[in-house]
Copies of this chain bind each other. A is one copy, B any other.
Amino acid sequence: MAERSRRRQGGRRTVSIRDVAEAAGVSVATVSRALSADSASFHIRPETRQHVLETSAALGYRPNDLARALLQQRTSVIGVVVPDISNPFYPDVVRGIEDVASAAGYRMILCNTDREPDRLNKYLETLVSSRVDGVLIAGGAADTPIDVDIFARYHTKVVVVGRHDVECPSVQLDNVAAGAAITAHLAGLGHRRIALIAGPEGSRTMRDRFEGYRTALREHGLPFDEALVGRGELDEAAGYRVAGELTTMDNPPTGIVTVNDRMAVGALAALHDQGIAVPHQVSVTGFDDVSFASYVRPKLTTVAVPTYRVGTTAAELLISSLRGEVERTTSEPVVLPTEVIIRDSCAPPPA
């Protein structure tokens, strides 16, 4: 029993439950009980408990969650995977996740994949090795097959945001319907040449919005014209560039549907710089209804998507899954509503 002091030599060791026990003159079991959350209802003498608490505080003791997790087979950590936290869509989602996760006592490991399958897979492996209790895949994984078996083997619950083939609970936005609705708004105003500024093909969300655009065109008897769709990254610069190209073509569009608000703001800037009046000469729509959408001039007509609620809902789904409240079988996707917000950037086409 003399080997206990083995490691005391180098840098001072971190204080462990045994140190508290020794200092308090009790056993480690007693310390554990005194510190345990429900120690009130436990068999422990109040004075003992008090004494242990004080000793623990005096020593600056912090329980080691690793040891606890190793024993209990649960870490109270969830992994959250997003394509890119810099994309203004995600901070709100992540914030929603964190709010409900932390309220439920979970910590959150954040991972950015940049939509690269390699990064995604590497992160998922890492998360399994971390023995996170659950993983929230919030986009960027639509085209990457995910090995659910490995999660099942390690009892890791999975929830995804967005449409995906993986068999697990999900929260989705009906981006097809939303894309159709905003396009239909322009068509309803009388526009017949409606352009689309689309995003990268790698994003399922953006593909769906694109598909909605085509659907609405069809439903309104409008032809799909390849020349009227431009692509780019999801930022202002791309919107600016593509809008500039659109306006200089023969027979330019009178309406421009955009796949997110940043691109829309870029488009607005391009139109402004060319002296084209919005909405009188050209109408523009955004997508997402980010905070500045109602502060640019003209105010942006766009579609509101409940980003924060996407996060909270997904986290709630995951947490009830962790509590075993969700069916093993894939439950129906939770589809959150979107809404076309009509502001000032659209009008009937010029006569």
Contacts and interface: CB of A to CB of B under 8 A. Distances in A.
B88 A84 contact: no
A150 B62 contact: yes
A280 interface: no
A106 to B, nearest CB: 10
Q: Which of A62, A90, A95, A131 has the most CB of B within 10 A?
A: A62
A112 interface: yes
30 contacts: A11-B155, A12-B153, A14-B154, A62-B128, A62-B154, A64-B70, A64-B129, A65-B129, A65-B130, A66-B66, A66-B69, A66-B75, A66-B130, A85-B95, A88-B91, A90-B91, A94-B110, A98-B112, A109-B110, A110-B110, A235-B291, A236-B292, A236-B294, A239-B295, A262-B292, A268-B295, A268-B297, A269-B297, A273-B297, A292-B292
Given A14-B73, A67-B70, A88-B91, 5 more contacts: A64-B131, A66-B75, A85-B98, A109-B110, A265-B296
A59 B296 CA distance: 56
Given A64-B131, A126-B107, A295 B265 contact: yes
Contact of A297 (B92, B149, B272): B272
A248 interface: no
A41 interface: no
A128 B125 CA distance: 24
Interface in A126-160: 126, 128-131, 149-150, 153-155
A90 B262 CA distance: 18
A110 B112 contact: no
Contacts of A94: 85, 110
Contact of A291 (B75, B131, B262): B262
A236 B293 CA distance: 10
Nearest to A154: B14
Closest CB pairs A-B (n = 9): A236-B295, A269-B295, A110-B110, A65-B129, A62-B128, A66-B70, A85-B91, A86-B91, A86-B95
